[in-house]
Structure 1
Amino acid sequence: MLRPIVHIVAQSVKDVLMSLVDDGLVTMDKIGTSNYFWSYPSAALQSSKNKFKDLQASLEKEKAKHQRLQDEIEEAKETREDTDERAELLKELAELKAKNKELMNELQKYKENDPVLFEKKEKAAAIAKEAANRWTESIWEIESYCVKKFNMDRTAFEQNFGIPEDFDVLN
């Protein structure tokens, strides 16, 4: 009844209602060929309470699992024997970790001379050189245009725009 007066699009009402149903804020029942929508204020509260109970149960379950795993760890520590072989292996492990750290530090020193990194730097330098030469040639083109168009002296142009006498392409 409101649609012709207020110009409400029926499809947008359906979309909003379906999104509310999907979010669980509105309940829908199909009775015959009609869909009925409703929402009670206590439904949201009840839904929140149910979710809270589920989360509490899940939390208790995870706490129990955590405690069980802690107990297993303690039991494994108690049953583990401190043998000479184990102590020797732990000492060897510490030495190997120290040697690994030392080798990693040494590797960092030589990283500057890495052939792959050096090649990347060479390529970047070549690209930068090409770009600088392109800009140099563009400046010469502008200079040539201005000299011809405005009948200027080339040295006067270079002085006015701060172009040095040794301005040239990079080799």
Structure 2
Amino acid sequence: MSKKKGLSFEEKRARMMEIFFETKDVFQLKDIEKIAPKEKGITSMSVKEILQSLVDDGMVDTDRIGTSNYFWAFPSKALHARKRKLGELESQFAESNQKKEALQKSIEKSKIGREDTVERAALIEELAALRQKKEQLKAEIDKYRECDPDVIEEMLQERKCKLLFSCSENANCA
């Protein structure tokens, strides 16, 4: 005994598109709801949802005439859409290849003068040592920052401002 497995959403979409492509006709929703379960095995409960997803993706066209909605999709439209998408992808591919080539040329150009030599290695080591010494000196300066006359003067000015501000708020300061 094997269980009958239901169709996936993508399979239902593909089968719905087959209905349009095979008949090359225009349908109302009620017509599709009758045809889809019989011919393609799509449950009538999911026909509206699938049809709406196809309309949202631009695979099926729709138009309202009077009080009725009509749906259609022709194979030529799908072919033109695929060709247009292929053209876009090919142009993006060509553009990406041009960027890649330009970047490779830039890399090759920037490598000139950066060959690994003994002198260059020594300069890189010296640069690293100087950067480390700079960080040590910065840390030492920060340690003695409290004794800096400019910093002390700035702190005194801030205190004077705070005292003046607090005295102006209190009428008792005089």
TM range (shorter): 0.3 to 0.5
Q: Could you say which structure has the greater relative contact order, defined with CA pairs below 8 angstroms and 6 or more residues apart?
A: 2
Structure in which a larger fraction of residues adopt helix = 1
Q: TM-score, normalised by structure 1?
A: 0.41
